[in-house]
Amino acid sequence: MPRIKILLFFILCIIKVYPQINDSIFSDRPDGRFISTYGYLITELENTKPALSYDSTMSKLQFYRWQDDVKAAMENIMKFPMNNNNLPDPVCISTEQKDGYVLEKWEFYPFPKCVSTFLVLKPDNVIDKAPAVLCIPGSGRTKEGLAGEPGIYDCYTEEISSDHVTMALDYAKAGYIAVAVDNAGAGEASDIEHYSNSGNYNYDVISRLLLEMGWSWLGYTSYLDMQVLKWMKSTDYIDKNHIILSGFSLGTEPMMVLGVMDKDIYAFVYNDFLCNTQERAVVMTKPNKYGNRPFPNSIRHLIPDYWRFFNFPDVVASLAPRPIIFTEGALDRDFELVKNAYEKVNAINNVKCYHYPKFSKKEDRLQIEKLPKGLDSKTYFRMVNVDPPSHYFKSELVIPWIDSLLK
Which residues lie near its own copies (CB under 8 A)?
23-24, 27, 29, 31-45, 48, 109, 111, 113-117, 184-185, 188-193, 195-196, 198, 202, 204-206, 208-214, 220, 281, 287, 290-295, 299, 302-308
Shorter beta-carbon distance to its own copies: residue 48 or 346: 48
Q: Residue 292: CB partners within 8 Å, gap ≥ 6? A: none
Shorter beta-carbon distance to its own copies: residue 173 or 301: 301
Shorter beta-carbon distance to its own copies: residue 23 or 376: 23
The crossing angle, in degrees rounded to 10, of helices 217-234 and 252-261 is 60
Shorter beta-carbon distance to its own copies: residue 212 or 369: 212
Q: What are phi and psi of 351, to 5 degrees?
A: -115, 125
- Asked if 353 and 362 touch (Cβ cutoff 8 Å), the reply is no
Q: What is the 3-state secondary structure (H, E, C) of 326-360?
A: ECCCCCHHHHHHHHHHHHHCCCHHHEEECCCHHHC
Closest CB 120 distance from its own copies, rounded Å: 18
Closest CB 302 distance from its own copies, rounded Å: 6
Measure the CA–CA gap between 5 and 1, rounded to whole angstroms: 6
Of the candidates 164, 157, 177, the one whose C-alpha atom is nearest the C-alpha of residue 104 is 177
Shorter beta-carbon distance to its own copies: residue 32 or 389: 32
- Asked if 198 and 154 touch (Cβ cutoff 8 Å), the reply is no
Shorter beta-carbon distance to its own copies: residue 8 or 41: 41
Closest CB 106 distance from its own copies, rounded Å: 13
Closest CB 183 distance from its own copies, rounded Å: 9
Reported residue count of the chain is 407
Shorter beta-carbon distance to its own copies: residue 197 or 367: 197
Closest CB 124 distance from its own copies, rounded Å: 30
- Please return the burial class of 351, using the count of CB atoms within 10 Å of its CB with bins 0-12, 13-18 and 19+: buried
Shorter beta-carbon distance to its own copies: residue 291 or 389: 291
Closest CB 292 distance from its own copies, rounded Å: 5
**69, 202, 222, 278, 343 from 208: Cα distances, Å:** 28, 11, 16, 20, 40
Closest CB 303 distance from its own copies, rounded Å: 8
Closest CB 228 distance from its own copies, rounded Å: 15
- Residues facing 122 on adjacent strands: 102
Shorter beta-carbon distance to its own copies: residue 189 or 338: 189
Closest CB 5 distance from its own copies, rounded Å: 31
Closest CB 107 distance from its own copies, rounded Å: 9
Shorter beta-carbon distance to its own copies: residue 185 or 323: 185
Measure the CA–CA gap between 130 and 160, rounded to whole angstroms: 26
- Asked if 104 and 81 touch (Cβ cutoff 8 Å), the reply is no
Q: Residue 168: CB partners within 8 Å, gap ≥ 6? A: 119, 121, 133, 135, 143, 146, 147, 148, 178, 179, 180
Measure the CA–CA gap between 93 and 183, rounded to whole angstroms: 20
